């Protein structure tokens, strides 16, 4: 049996048989570190919660089925998921990556992964020719490229990378394609169906959706990779805790309705920002003259509720951050509460200055994650903040 996306959000994976036979409607929180064996050499399927836990397994099954994946893994955060994936890659190899990424991923790649002798080659993957060139250079240098790692839309400048074409190119070179799908979620974009090999998501954002828990997910159809990831989880213990797994399952029940409502509100805000004096440019993949509009439209069913915008002066950017009342000045995104972020000093503070400049992460760039509040209230808040009635 298979259900529509929206129904699967509510029911979980229809193929998955719950471990509990009480008839409970929500997944129980199996707050148990260990599980007794019925007899010598017999297991219930659960031995120790670092390896597997029924609440975590339920969460993994939901996300895997939303991504149309054979395997799903839940981690204690998005970064724990990315780390586990890289732990599954051989040391001494090369990964070609988008150069406009979540700041925490860049920090991980440039420090811990570098010390594991994984070479990161950054390029603007929104232009396929750059990825081609990176492969040629790596191969000329005798490097083995394990994977191409992309975010689309990217963070924070909302560049779009063609998933299908990048997957084809990666596969020609015997490399995997990894897509960080945090911004659009499987509700709007299905990277595995477009040819990607692994999907990374920060569940902290839209999946959990309530700014109340950290979580991360990996999904894949690749048997060998799944086995490696499973070994990493078992060995390093970065799996998602039972209570947080429960919150993830609960958050996902409303994913479809939240994604729709938040996108609608985001579009109302964009219409207002586009004609607002003091705003010089809005970055959003749903704006027709944004460079990635056509590609995003061809590979996703929506544009999401994340946007970035430039204002005319750094003073105005600071004024907005000091004056917003309903919208909170905080890192993170994707929750029911709208949040405004200053990438320069927050999410991208650890990105080298020259890279920030090149990518347009300046002191006049703000990023807005639109939540579930009323559009008119959010616009009124931005209007008063723009004019700085502190
Ligand atoms: C937040 C985020 C991450 C990291 O996730 P955490 O849950 O904060 O560890 C990775 N990628 C993107 C695009 C993100 O927004």
Q: How far is the CA of 309 from the centre of ligand 1 (A)?
A: 20
Arithmetic mean of pLDDT, 132-156: 96
Q: Which of 56, 205, 319, 359 is catalytic?
A: 205
Query: Catalytic annotation on 246?
Result: no
Q: Which of 87, 99, 180, 381 is catalytic?
A: 180
Q: In the prediction, which pLDDT does 259 show?
A: 98
Arithmetic mean of pLDDT, 175-197: 98
Q: How far is the CA of 97 from the centre of ligand 1 (A)?
A: 16
Instruction: Reply yes or no on whether the pLDDT at 20 is more than 50.
Output: yes
Instruction: Reply yes or no on whether the pLDDT at 291 is more than 90.
Output: no
Query: Catalytic annotation on 187?
Result: no
State the pLDDT confidence band at 153, using cuts at 50, 70 and 90: very high
Q: For residue 48, give the DSSP letter.
A: B
State the pLDDT confidence band at 387, using cuts at 50, 70 and 90: confident
Strands in 198-202's sheet, in edge-to-edge order, are: 71-75, 216-220, 198-202, 176-180, 145-151, 94-98, 119-123
From the alpha carbon of 81, which atom of ligand 1 is closest?
9
Q: How far is the CA of 139 from the centre of ligand 1 (A)?
A: 30
Q: In the prediction, which pLDDT does 388 show?
A: 63
State the pLDDT confidence band at 91, using cuts at 50, 70 and 90: very high
Q: Percent of the chain having pLDDT more than 90?
A: 89
Residue 340 and residue 212 in contact, taking contact as beta carbons nearer than 8 Å: no
Closest protein CA for atom 2 of ligand 1: 202
Instruction: Reply yes or no on whether the pLDDT at 17 is more than 90.
Output: no
Q: In the prediction, which pLDDT does 390 show?
A: 47
Q: How far is the CA of 254 from the centre of ligand 1 (A)?
A: 20
C-alpha span between 100 and 359 (Å, rounded)? 7
C-alpha span between 23 and 150 (Å, rounded)? 42
How many CB atoms sit inside 10 A of residue 350's CB? 13
Residue 250 and residue 288 in contact, taking contact as beta carbons nearer than 8 Å: no
Instruction: Reply yes or no on whether the pLDDT at 353 is more than 90.
Output: no
Q: In the prediction, which pLDDT does 15 show?
A: 82
Closest protein CA for atom 11 of ligand 1: 102
> Read out DSSP for 240-277?
PPHHHHHHHHHHHTTHHHHHHHHHHHHHHHHHHHHT-T
Q: How far is the CA of 107 from the centre of ligand 1 (A)?
A: 12
The structure tokens 């994946």 sit at 69
pLDDT digits (tens, 9 = 90+) for 311-352: 999 999 999 999 999 999 999 999 999 999 999 988 888 888
Q: In the prediction, which pLDDT does 289 show?
A: 85
Q: What is the mean pLDDT of the chain?
A: 95
Arithmetic mean of pLDDT, 67-75: 98
Query: Catalytic annotation on 322?
Result: no
Q: In the prediction, which pLDDT does 214 show?
A: 98
Query: Catalytic annotation on 205?
Result: yes
State the pLDDT confidence band at 80, using cuts at 50, 70 and 90: very high
Instruction: Reply yes or no on whether the pLDDT at 179 is more than 90.
Output: yes
* Residue 258 or 387, more confident: 258
| Residue 98, CB-side half-sphere exposure with 13 Å CA sphere | 29
Q: In the prediction, which pLDDT does 389 show?
A: 52
Q: Which of 58, 71, 102, 342 is catalytic?
A: 102
From the alpha carbon of 204, which atom of ligand 1 is closest?
7
């Amino acid at each position: 049996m298979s259900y529509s996306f929206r129904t699967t959000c509510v029911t979980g994976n229809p193929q998955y048989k719950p471990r509990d036979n009480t008839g409970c409607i929500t997944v129980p929180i199996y707050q148990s570190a260990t599980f007794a064996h019925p007899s010598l050499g017999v297991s219930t399927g659960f031995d120790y919660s670092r390896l597997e836990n029924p609440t975590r397994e339920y969460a993994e099954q939901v996300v895997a089925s939303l991504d149309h994946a054979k395997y799903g893994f839940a981690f204690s955060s998005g970064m724990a998921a990315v780390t586990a994936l890289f732990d599954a890659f051989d040391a001494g190899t090369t990964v070609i990556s988008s150069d406009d990424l979540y700041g925490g991923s860049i920090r991980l790649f440039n420090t811990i992964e570098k010390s594991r002798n994984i070479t990161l080659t950054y390029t603007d993957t929104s232009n396929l020719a750059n990825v081609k060139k990176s492969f040629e250079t790596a191969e000329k240098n005798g490097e083995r490229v394990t994977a191409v790692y992309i975010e689309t839309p990217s963070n924070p400048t909302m560049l779009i990378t063609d998933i299908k074409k990048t997957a084809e190119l990666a596969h020609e070179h015997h490399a995997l394609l990894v897509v960080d799908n945090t911004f659009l979620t499987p509700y709007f974009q299905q990277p595995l169906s477009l040819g990607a090999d692994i999907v990374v998501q920060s569940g902290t954002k839209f999946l959990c959706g309530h700014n109340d828990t950290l979580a991360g997910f990996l999904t894949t159809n690749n048997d060998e990779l799944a086995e490696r990831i499973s070994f990493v989880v078992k060995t390093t213990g970065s799996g998602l805790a039972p209570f947080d797994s429960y919150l993830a399952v609960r958050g996902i029940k409303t994913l479809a309705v939240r994604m729709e409502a938040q996108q609608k509100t985001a579009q109302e805000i964009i219409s207002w920002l586009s004609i607002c004096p003091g705003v010089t440019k809005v970055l959003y993949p749903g704006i027709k003259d944004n460079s990635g509009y056509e590609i995003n439209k061809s590979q996703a069913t929506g544009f999401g509720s994340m946007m970035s915008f430039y204002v005319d002066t750094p003073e105005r950017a600071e004024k907005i951050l000091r004056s917003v009342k309903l919208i909170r000045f905080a890192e993170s995104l994707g929750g029911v509460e709208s949040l405004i972020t200053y990438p320069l000093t927050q999410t991208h503070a650890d990105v080298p200055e020259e890279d920030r400049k090149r990518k347009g992460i300046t002191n006049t760039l703000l990023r807005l994650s639109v939540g579930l509040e009323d559009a008119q209230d959010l616009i009124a808040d931005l209007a008063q903040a723009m004019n700085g009635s502190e």
